[in-house]
Each structure stands twice: as C-alpha cells, then as structure tokens.
A and B are shown apart, each in its own frame.
Chain A
Amino acid sequence: MIQFFNVDLHYGDKQILHHITFHITKGDFVYIIGPTGVGKSSILKLIYFEEFPDAGTIIVDQYSSAKIKPRDIPYVRRKVGVVFQDFKLLPDRNVFENVAFALRVTGVSSAVIKKKVLLVLNEVGLGHRRNHYPRELSGGEQQRVAIARALVNEPTIVLADEPTGNLDPKSAVEILELLESINKRGTAVLMATHNYSLIKQFPHQTLSLLEGELREE
C-alpha cells in the first residue's frame, strides 16, 4: 500500500532523510518515533505528496512520487486521512460541518454527507456534540473531530502527526484507543510521536528515526 525505496530528502544543505526504505500494508499500525525536528512529519508529508523526495521513490496505492501528476494528488489524499497535533479545524463551522467539509469539497451529495458524517461522529463518540463549535470542545474532543474528518472519506490509511502532543494524558489514551479501534477495522495507522510512555501502553511496530536513518525498534 505504501512503499519507500531509498528515499532522500534535504532542506537546503541539511539532510533530513537518508536512504529510507520501509513499507506499510493494509491493517498495519506503525509508530515513527524520534526527537522533535528529526523529520517524522516529513515522512508523513511525503506520503500525501505535500513534499517530494530528492532521490528514491514513494509509492502510495498505484501512484508513484516519480510519475504522479499534480492533478492526481487530490485523489491520493482522499485515500489518506491526516490528523495533526493542532487539529486544524475550521473555527467558524460546527462539528458536523467540519467533518462534512471533507466530503463537500469532493462533490458528495448532501444526503450521503449527512449519513456518513453522523455515522463517523458516532464512531468517535461525538454524535451528540455535532452542533457545537470547536471552541466549545476540549482538546481531546477537537482531536476526535479531526479524526472523524480524516475517516469520513474511508481512507486506507490514517496519518497522525503527534496527535496527542496537545492533550492531557487521559485524552491522549482515549485518542490512542480510538486509533486502535479504527485500525482493528482494517484501516492502517501511521503515527509520528515522541510520547514513549504511550507506545509502551499501546505497543505496535515502531520505527525510530535518528539523523536521517530509520531503524526498527
């Protein structure tokens, strides 16, 4: 599903990734760990084609970083749900609309949107808060909305970039439980984090990124 072959990435003179090779298949749950600024987010950005490698190839479904056309990128992103540390919700829209937004911009009909959004909101346990605005929710709840938005397009993989970074320990555990339940239903999860205690609590395949090199823990 996702394959990295000898991927190199530089920011100016600084080498971020050096000959990275790994793959993720359907149903995997993988952590990428490493200190802040080491390039964990860059790996995620390479997967949803926000960035492109300087050398090597990334394959996501049938698309290759070497050959993908800009007009095809939106279609890859519909199959990849992304969740961030800062949630990235739209403050002027309620919970329902924030989640529906992902479907509206891909031209889905209103009837289908309503059904899918309510379903996914129940899945993340926020069906009853659909009319609330992000500012009325706790951090953990906001992250759930972001996860619901990532899931509503029924992606094959969810990329979570430090999803618990802004949360208290209790909410962080709840988010991990949610990600695990999503994973159990077949959606792959790739999570970048430096929260080692959470990894101990929820052990999964762990890749460690240090000085551009990726090692299995």
Chain B
Amino acid sequence: MSILFSINEGFKGFFKARLATTLSVSSITLTIFLTGMFVIFTINLQSWLGFLREKIEIELFIEVGSTDQEINELKNKISSLDEVKEIEYVSEEEAAKRFEKEFGQNVFDVLEFNPFPSSIIIHLNKGYQTASAIGKLKNRLELFANVDEVFYKKPLLEKIDQYVQIAYILGALIGIIIIIIAIGLIFNTIRLTIYARKDMIHIMRLVGATEGFIRKPFLVEGMIQGFLGGSLASLAIYYSIKLVQIYIYPYVISNNLVFLGLVLFSMIIGLFSAYLSVGKYIRII
C-alpha cells in the first residue's frame, strides 16, 4: 500500500514540475547517450584490436644443426606452456617453399644453399596477447636450448596496448564527468519538486507520516527520471547504430546488454541523486 502511494506520488511529482523534469530528463538522455556511444565505440575498438591481436604470433628460429630429436623436445616444451595456443613447425624446406610462394622466385636460383633456418610459429592464447606478456615469454623462450632467435611485431603490439589504455582512461574520464553532470541535474530537479510540494510535506508530517515515507516519492521520482533518460538514450543509440550500419560502416557491433546496463545505470544515478537531494533539503522544509 505505502509502496503504491510512493509510486503514485512519485509520478505525480514527475508531471507537476513539468519544465524542470523535461529539462532534467532531456539532459540525462543526452549525457547517457554520450556515455552509451562511447561504450559502443570502446566495444568496437576492443573487437577490432582483438582481431589484430589474434594475428600476432611469435616466430622462434631454431639453431642451425639441431637434430630432429632436439627439435621435437623443443616443440613439446613450447606446446606445454600456458601462453601457447598452438604451434606450427616450419622446416627449412618449408621456409624455402614459403619464400618462393611469397616472392615468386626459387631461393636456389639465387643462392646455392638454403639460407632459411627452421622455425616454430607460436600462436598465443587470449589474455597473453599483450606486449608485456609476450615480452616475458620471449625472454623465457630465448633461454631454451637450440633457440637461435625469437621474433615478434613488438612496435605494433605496443601501439595496440597504448591505444587501449588511452581509450580506457578517456572512457573513465568522460564517464565520471557525465555522471557528475547527471547527478547535478537530477539533484536540482528533485530540490525544485521538494520546494514545490512544501505544503504537502508539512501536511504529511502533521498527520503522522514517517520521514522515510515522506522521502520515498522523491526517490521514486529520481528513479523515473533516470529510467526515462536511460531508455530514451538507449533508443537513440540503437537507431544511431542502425544508421551507421546502413550508411557508413556495416560492421559496427553492439550488445543488448549495453542498453540494459545504460537504463539500470541511469536509474541508479537517478535514485542516488534524489537520495542526496532529499537528504539535504527535506529537513529544512
């Protein structure tokens, strides 16, 4: 019963302070929209970088003159490492063939001997595809017997890591600023509704409503604002993605959980801001 009253009064307050509410909801929509677009951008960046990382492999050159048994032992040792997803052995002959395939010329036409050492190409498990993990693995691999040289595309990997870090920091900063703006907006709207309903609060106190009961409708109102702002923003993001997919870049990905997350997040912000506002202003009414 009292819950119904709070929800009912929350909606009433929402419609009463129409101008403040409209301003507040549209600003929340805008801020959540920006947050959401940034989340979608990050998801796409992650997926694209993940795709790039998949391509990163370590090439380990085996010392010339190693015996088949030594090479097999090395292969087994490498395969058993946690970081390693799979390995691919490239014999000296195979390396020469690959050269011919890539450059269209038989190496023996140029040289009298095969200059390519045999090698092992190592594909890595997810989570070990970062610059620091690969760097550590390289150091360990170099200590193995019969290893001549270990090679990977270090600069590319470092660039990827750097971009990811920048994206995270930027995301966190934008997120914090947006949250503060949204909290400020809802805080202020609830303050206005509290003042607008001053008489009602007085009467509630007079007839014996508990403080918790008096506060609830305002909390509900904050949540409604958050819900509406979050939902409108989610809709806008959904259609923006569709438009981008149709007219600009068809490979943009999104995740339905993002929309749910945005609405929930927005509601929590609404509740929290209303809680702050009520805590500050209802006592002095």
B1-32 at interface with A (beta carbon < 8 Å): 1-2, 5
Query: By the criterion CB–CB under 8 Å, are A74 and B209 in contact?
Result: yes
CB-based nearest B residue for A77: B208
* Residue on B nearest A72 in the bound complex, by CB: B210
Query: Which segment, of B64-72, B108-116, B128-136, B198-206, faces chain A?
Result: B198-206
Residue from B1, B199, B204, B209 within 8 A of A110 (CB atoms): B1
CB-based contact B1/A74 at 8 Å: no
Q: Which of A70, A74, A105 contacts B5 (CB 8 A)?
A: A105
Q: Is the CB of A78 within 8 A of B1?
A: no
Q: In whole angstroms, how far apart are the Cα atoms of A90 and B1 in the complex?
A: 21
Q: Which of B204, B206, B211, B213 contacts A48 (CB 8 A)?
A: B206
Q: How far is the CB of A162 from chain B (nearest CB, A)?
A: 16
Partner of A107, one of B2, B199, B200, B203: B2
- Is residue A185 within 8 Å, beta carbon to beta carbon, of the partner chain? no
Chain B neighbourhood of A108, CB < 8 A: 1
Q: 0/1 per residue, A45-84, Cβ < 8 Å to B?
A: 0001000000000000000000000110011111000100
Q: How large is the interface on B (under 10, 10 to 19, 20 to 34, 35 or more residues)?
A: 10 to 19
Give min CB distance, B107 to chain A, whole Å: 90
Alpha-carbon gap, A9 to B213, bound state (A): 30
Closest to B16 in A: A92
A88 to B199, CA, bound (A): 8
Task: For A70, list chain B residues within 8 Å (CB).
Answer: 211
Contact status A77-B205, CB under 8 Å? yes
Q: Which of A71, A101, A110 has the most CB of B within 10 A?
A: A101
Query: Closest CB-CB distance, B120 to chain A, in whole Å?
Result: 74
Output the least CB separation between B10 and chain A (Å): 14
How far does the alpha carbon of A88 sit from the alpha carbon of B205 in the complex, in Å?
12
Distance between Cα atoms of A88 and B200 in the complex (Å) = 9
- B1 with A109: CB separation less than 8 A: yes
Q: Establish whether residues B207 and A71, one from each chain, have CB atoms under 8 Å apart when the complex forms.
A: no
Q: Is the CB of B208 within 8 A of A90?
A: no
- Whether B210 contacts A74 by the Cβ 8 Å rule is yes
A149 contacts the other chain (Cβ, under 8 Å)?
yes
For B213, list chain A residues within 8 Å (CB): 105, 107
Q: In the complex the two chains form, what is the Cα distance from A108 to B1 in whole Å? A: 7
Residue pair A90, B207 in contact (C-beta under 8 Å): no
Q: A77–B203 contact, CB under 8 A?
A: no
- Residue in A88, A109, A110, A153 whose CB lies within 8 Å of B208: A153
Chain B CB within 8 A of A135 CB: no
B87 to chain A, nearest CB (A): 70
Asked whether A78 and B208 contact (CB < 8 A) given A90-B199, A104-B5, A107-B1, the answer is yes
A101-115 at interface with B (beta carbon < 8 Å): 101-102, 104-110
A103 to B1, CA, bound (A): 11
19 contacts between A and B (CB under 8 A): A48-B206, A71-B210, A74-B210, A77-B205, A77-B207, A77-B208, A88-B199, A88-B202, A88-B206, A90-B203, A101-B204, A104-B1, A105-B204, A105-B209, A106-B208, A107-B1, A107-B5, A109-B1, A153-B207
Residues of A near any B CB (own CB < 8 A): 48, 70-71, 74-78, 82, 88, 90, 101-102, 104-110, 149, 153
Q: Which 10 A-B pairs have the closest CB atoms?
A: A105-B209, A78-B208, A77-B208, A102-B207, A74-B208, A107-B2, A74-B210, A105-B204, A104-B5, A107-B1
- Chain B residues proximal to chain A, CB less than 8 Å: 1-2, 5, 199-200, 202-211, 213-214
